Amino acid sequence: MRLHHLEVTAFGPFAGTTTVDFDALSDAGLFLLSGPTGAGKSSVLDAVCFALYGDVPGDRAAAKRLRSDHAADDVVPRVVLEATLSGRRFRIDRSPAWTRAKKRGSGTTTEQARVVISERRAGTGDGAGDDAEWTPLSTRLDETGHLVTRLVGMTLPQFCQVAMLPQGRFQAFLRARSEERHDLLQQVFQTGRFDDIERWLRDRRVELRRTSQQHEAVVADLVSRVSEVAGSAAPDGWTGDADGLRAWMGELTTSAVSASVAQTLLVDAASAAEVAASEESAAGIELAGRRSTYAAARRARAGLDAAQVEHETRLDRVTQAQRAAGVRPLHELAVSARAEVRQLDQLSRAARDRLAEMLGVTPLDDQEIAEHQRAATSTLTEIARVRPFRRQASDLERQLGRLTRARDEAGTELLRVQTRAEEVPQVLAALEPRLQAARESKALAEALTADLEVLRSRTRAARTAESLTTQLRGAEQALAEATQARLLAREALVEIREQRLDGMAAEIAGKLAVGADCPVCGSTDHPHPAKAAPGAPDEATEREARREVDDLEVVVEAHAQQVRGIEAQRAAALAESGDSVEHLLVEEEATLANLERARSEASTVEAWVARVEALTSERDALAQEQAALSATTTRLDTEIAVLVAKIEGLLEQVGAVVPDAADLDDLTAHLQEVEQLARDCLAQTAELGRARATAASTQEAADSVAAAAGFDSSAWAAAAWLTDAEIADLQQQIDRHEREAARVDDLLADQQLVESAASDPPDLEALAQAHHRAKEHAAQARETDMRLRDRGRRLRGLSDEMDDALSAWAPVRAELDLTADLAALVEGKHADNRFQMRLSAYVLAHRLGQVVDAANLRLATMSGQRYSLVHTGQRGAGETRGGLSLLVRDDWTGDSRDPATLSGGETFVVSLALALGLADVITDEAGGTDLDTLFVDEGFGSLDSETLEDVMDTLDTLRDGGRVVGVVSHVPELQTRIPTQLRVHRSRNGSHTSLSLG
């Protein structure tokens, strides 16, 4: 980094526009920034920091008063810096936030901070002159901040520790803790990749531990399943003992196989016992069955002897029925003939009586019946001729009725269609406004949805602003408390210094030696040396108070940065929200209600469109239907008139034959009945004669056949007849009796049954119980065998799964152990890491060693070969990690001590040497940050003349490396020693600068 030109307007103590030509100052390599106290020397450095980072170091950042109080009300505060960063020429134009009077009305308004960063592109010139062409890169505060931090390679606090050493702050790196040095060195040396390695190892360790736990859970589940199957608990401490688990599984599997083999032998023995018991039980059952069979045969024989008489009666009935079977057909014919004669006689008399009743005459003879038949037949012939006309007329009347109904229905439908056709246009006209309103609501709903999303985003921003406001109050309170604590610590330090100055005589007296010269009067005689007052502070008390002030400076700076960050976030949130949460919520609620109404109305668009389309289609259909109904009505009227004419002509023809056409069917039925009765009477008379002759001859033949069969008449033969079913039933009873008798005789003659009946009866219950017990024992043995076989099979399967699971777990566990050891080692937590040093700290320790070596080259000169810095890997006081601790070695005493024990001048010298060493290493480091410009603000007043001379000699050597060092001091001796000077002059109207090149 090299500065070229700085322009400051209305910034700090500078009321107008002040320019600083760093290129002119850089030619000398070493220049002095001088001026009276309060003139604005440090404000020049603040301007550089503000241009780069948008903030200033130290307490002035908390004050937030960057605009000059001496500037006119309408002058905009502004800082423009031209600098080379990472080999590229940039111009940064910044303005801080400031308050101005409103252009209209009374009151004030706040102008927000702004920035413009531009780059001078290669090939457009040498970067000098006002006519240079600059390319803007960004106007956003955050983008510019990230870009500058990346180009410089440091944040503002780190930049102030390395390149911009402000009043009372440049010794912070010397006194910093290892963690703070770690952050700074990592940023400037770009060693973040080693942090990435540590992080990757930690993440990999967590991932492997999680994977290992998953494998362990699988193995634990298998162990649990094996324990459950085998009924044996797992060995203690199995988690890391894969061989033990495999041996345990082998023992369980072998034991299960042995038990299964032994149980197989028991199953065979139990099965043989079951077969023997079964055979004994079956033999007993068979013997009991034979004894039962013989006893049943004896009982059956007694029953058969008792039923012998009944059996012979059945035999006699079957014999007579078989002889009567030959007479039965003729006897039945004779009976049937006599019955037919009686029936025909009854029918003939009934028919004659009915015919006489219908004709209204006395009983008729056969000739009169024939005359009436001929007359009815003639009349029926004439009626048959005109009947088709009557039927055709009836058909036409029915057709006429259908056409008439159709005509009435068509007329009614036509009237309905006409009415509906008049209503549809009116309904369509009424629907159009509703459809248009629904479509407008749909468009409104889309617009309201977008508005609602914007409102919700603004509401979230407003809530964020409220939360940030609360955080800001807490941060400001913490900043105020820290500032107050720092003020009290400073007052305590001043008081301690004053008390120490008051008691300086006693402190000098305490250092007097016998015979030594007094440093005040030069006398070797010390008759009355001063004594310190009780409780008077000493050098250690002052050093402790100064250290407390320095620590509080760091705390205040941290709180100030937090406040600035929260304020920036809050301003962005307020700008986005534009209103309070309450107002936004009310507006959001109203918008949501309007949106709901609009969505509700918009949801009816499709329904209204469908309704309109349906009505339009209905209107067209009604028009077509009306035309079709009109045509149908006209056609039906014509067809009705034609049918009426046809019906009248046919009825005239029927009336010529039958006067009363309505009684035609009744007359026809009457004549047909008369004709039929007459014909039946005549036929029945002839049939009755033939039946009487047949009945006499049939009875005579039946009596002859009955006599031949041994019966007195066919009637006696009929009394002996039996039906086939009765004969079959009797025959079955006869056969059953004979078969049962034969079966019983066979059983009673069976020698085996006779012997069984003579033997003792078996105990079937005892045999059954013995068989049942043997069967249960065999079943239990088989069940046990199956269970043992299943257990063996499951154990073999689980053994394979266990072996696979252990094989899969082994490499994961091995990698986890390796990764955990390596991660612990690089994190500084491993026992082999003696200094408890992280990997990144180890790398940075090498860099810090280089910085210490470079610093000692200058510190030896500046301290008169007394002091040197020592880099140690041991942890400092209160530190959890080592590697980046610093000690100061006093070569006069040979002791190493904490830098906090140095005096103010010694601290300045050592800190300056360390800062210069850090700048040298950073500049020489390939890929590191170039620090071509270095500022040292104050501290020279604490040096004695000899030490000041040594420090200036050291600063003079910096010119050889091309680095520019700016010394900020008002020490008169420096003004004569450094000819190139930038002077800051103060006045009542503000400060201004002048340049002196010696």
Q: Does an H or E element contain 752, and which?
A: helix 751-758
Task: Say which residues have a Cβ less than 8 Å from residue 884's Cβ, sequence separation at least 6.
Answer: 178, 181, 182, 185, 841, 844, 845, 848, 871
Tell me the fold of 1-153+930-998.
Rossmann fold (3.40.50)
Q: Where are the beta strands (DSSP E) in 98-147?
A: 98-101, 108-111, 114-120, 135-138
Distance CA 403, CA 406 (A): 5
Least confident of 207-221, 310-324, 459-473, 817-831: 310-324
Alpha helices in 827-890 (DSSP H): 839-862
In 3D space, the residue among 29, 25, 162 whose CA is nearest the CA of residue 961 turns out to be: 29
pLDDT value at residue 129: 46
> φ, ψ for residue 108 (rounded to 5)?
-125, 165
The three-state DSSP-derived secondary structure of 799-813 is: HHHHHHHHHHHHHHH
**Side chain identity, residue 118:** S
Distance CA 640, CA 78 (A): 110
Q: Compute how many other C-beta atoms are within 10 angstroms of the C-beta atom of residue 614.
A: 10
**Domain locations along the chain:** 1-153+930-998, 366-606, 836-928
Tokens of 713: 């008449």
Tokens of 654: 């029927």
Least confident of 25-39, 355-369, 492-506: 355-369
Residue 439: how many CA atoms within 13 Å on its side-chain side?
8
What's the pLDDT band for 126 if we cut at 50, 70, 90?
very low
Distance CA 67, CA 15 (A): 9
Q: Compute how many other C-beta atoms are within 10 angstroms of the C-beta atom of residue 388.
A: 12
Distance CA 9, CA 17 (A): 4
1-153+930-998 shares its CATH topology with 836-928: yes
- What is 333-360 written as a DSSP string? HHHHHHHHHHHHHHHHHHHHHHHHHHHT
At 222-277, the pLDDT tens digits run 788 877 777 777 777 677 677 777 788 787 788 877 877 887 888 788 888 888 88
Please state the pTM of the whole predicted model. Answer: 0.40
Superfamily for domain range 836-928: P-loop containing nucleotide triphosphate hydrolases (3.40.50.300)
Highest mean pLDDT among 67-81, 676-690, 725-739: 67-81
pLDDT value at residue 877: 52
pLDDT value at residue 125: 44
Own/partner pairs, 628-636, CB within 8 angstroms, 24+ separation: 629/410, 629/413, 629/414, 629/417, 630/414, 632/406, 632/410, 633/407, 633/410, 633/411, 633/414, 636/403, 636/406, 636/407, 636/410
Interval 852-857 mean pLDDT: 84
Own/partner pairs, 711-720, CB within 8 angstroms, 24+ separation: 711/324, 711/327, 714/327, 714/330, 714/331, 714/334, 715/331, 717/323, 717/324, 717/327, 717/328, 717/331, 718/324, 718/327, 718/328, 718/331, 720/320, 720/321, 720/323, 720/324
| CA-based radius of gyration for the chain | 67
Interval 32-37 mean pLDDT: 83
Tokens of 763: 């105990």
Order across the sheet with 981-985: list the strands.
164-165, 933-937, 964-968, 30-34, 981-985, 992-996
- What is 289-307 written as a DSSP string? HHHHHHHHHHHHHHHHHHT
Least confident of 458-462, 909-913, 919-923: 919-923
Using a 10 angstrom Cβ sphere, with 0-12 exposed, 13-18 middle and 19 or more buried, the burial of residue 960 is exposed
